[in-house]
Structure 1
Amino acid sequence: MAEVPFIAIEGPIGIGKTSLAKKLSVHFDFHLLKEIVEENPFLGKFYDDIDEWSFQTEMFFLCNRFKQLEDIEQKYLLENKAVVADYHISKNMIFAKRTLQADKFEKYEQIYHILTKDMPVPNMMIYLHASLDTILKRIRLRGREIEQNIKASYLAQLAQDYEDYMNEFEKLHPEIPVIRINGDEMDFVKHQDNLDYIINQVDLHLNNHKTVAKN
């Protein structure tokens, strides 16, 4: 792990990434980095017609996340200030592979690699996952109007894409600890003991890193 804690939380739509990031930010006094979602002017159109609006939607997210990470690196990480984020920029490729047609994906991938080449990489990942029923329930509960037209089949595919991605991530980055949280079994918003468990897991990895760094 890098010297300054940089924690990213990932998982499918509606799984609770932002809620957990907020709680960890408060507990550890880390800077909170939230992704820009509802500000995306193409998102509502995207959920109505994925093929028509996917490239515009993904490009907006990529450019905004690039700018956010650039700012975070300059203002916090290089100043030895810890950060917890409710996303990892590599999630862009999960969505792009699922939604973009081959010719547009090729262009997108080239731009993605150019922009992210020197971006800071999280040194701890928290992966939230759950069944489709749980994901649908949480999306309904938070009540974002633009998300009400999301097809269950799209969410099911996305959940599997995330699972494949995280399995690959752990193989490619064995040095980065991944904390897996099953959303079907744990609700850290409603149950403090579930939140305490996650906090303890994060603490454990942070302390392990300090020990390694000293040695």
Structure 2
Amino acid sequence: MEHVPFIAVEGPIGAGKTTLASMLADLLKFPVIKEIVEENPFIDKFYQNMDDWSFQLEMFFLCNRYKQLKDTVSEFFDKGKPVISDYHIYKNLIFSDRTLKGTEREKYREIFHVLTDDLPKPNVIFYIRADLDTLLKRIAKRGRSFEEDIDQNYLQQLIEDYDAAMASLAIREPATRIITIDGNTVDFVENREHFEEIASHIKELMV
């Protein structure tokens, strides 16, 4: 597995993770793994009342992401095939540490480690970092109804949580290369040069 390219794209809500992952997968002819979001039956309730629905929401995401990555191992990694994903499984702790409290958080963390500690880790993470205004514009542009209720304070805190998490991952997973993209100034959708510069990092990995 260590020689099979596994690329993850990460960042807060609205950063452009799925867009970039899809573009890279199309360029490199890699399969792309996309997280399930809108299919989560608790997401509308969560944005309306985080305290009541956080645990259900986070457990649904964890179980689905675990199943996706287990399937990815057998379908791709075991056959030496590279993969691009629009998330890193570690994001479950970023969100759950913000939304869960007390014993629920402790129980969740225990379940997380039991399920994920032996899953493959990415060789490269593209971390799209963007400020609140940029994220809000992108969230509004994609027009998901359930995101209309996102609390701006929650989103700002996620930005800070992601910064801390990427710093932690750099220590926890030293074999994973983390490449930070300035989502406020880098436009990988409209500017081909910006996109090709990002893609060049993966091509270096495959040499």
Which has the larger displacement, 149-158 or 165-174? Answer: 165-174
Alpha-carbon displacement from aligned partner over 1:80-129 (angstroms, at most 9, x marks no partner): 11100000111000000000011100111111111112211111111001
> Does residue 107 of structure 2 align to residue 107 of structure 1?
yes
User: CA–CA distance in 2 between the matches of 1:171 and 1:119?
Assistant: 18
User: CA–CA distance in 1 between the matches of 2:174 and 2:120?
Assistant: 17
Structure 2 stretches lacking a partner, 5+ long: none
What TM-score, normalized by structure 1, do the two folds share?
A: 0.94
Match of 2:24 in 1: 24
User: CA–CA distance in 1 between the matches of 2:174 and 2:121?
Assistant: 13
Structure 1 stretches lacking a partner, 5+ long: 208-215
User: CA–CA distance in 1 between the matches of 2:172 and 2:69?
Assistant: 21
> Does residue 124 of structure 2 align to residue 143 of structure 1?
no
Match of 1:36 in 2: 36
* 1:198-209 → structure 2 map (5 Å cutoff): 198-207=198-207
Q: What is the identity, as a one-letter code, of the residue corresponding to 1:68?
A: Q
> Does residue 44 of structure 2 align to residue 58 of structure 1?
no
* 1:4-23 → structure 2 map (5 Å cutoff): 4-23=4-23
Match of 1:4, SS state, is coil
User: CA–CA distance in 2 between the matches of 1:106 and 1:86?
Assistant: 26
The answer as to whether partners of 1:11 and 1:129 remain within 8 angstroms in 2 is yes
Q: What is the identity, as a one-letter code, of the residue corresponding to 1:175?
A: A
> Does residue 185 of structure 2 align to residue 188 of structure 1?
no
Match of 1:190, SS state, is coil
* 1:59-138 → structure 2 map (5 Å cutoff): 59-138=59-138
Match of 2:56, SS state, is helix
Alpha-carbon deviation of 1:200? 1.3
User: CA–CA distance in 1 between the matches of 2:96 and 2:132?
Assistant: 21
Which has the larger displacement, 44-53 or 110-119? Answer: 110-119
Alpha-carbon deviation of 1:172? 2.2
Deviation beyond 6 Å, 4+ runs, structure 1: none
The answer as to whether partners of 1:8 and 1:122 remain within 8 angstroms in 2 is yes
Q: What is the identity, as a one-letter code, of the residue corresponding to 2:122?
A: P
User: CA–CA distance in 1 between the matches of 2:79 and 2:206?
Assistant: 18
User: CA–CA distance in 1 between the matches of 2:113 and 2:174?
Assistant: 21
User: CA–CA distance in 1 between the matches of 2:65 and 2:33?
Assistant: 10
CA root-mean-square deviation: 1.0
User: CA–CA distance in 1 between the matches of 2:115 and 2:85?
Assistant: 19
Match of 1:164 in 2: 164
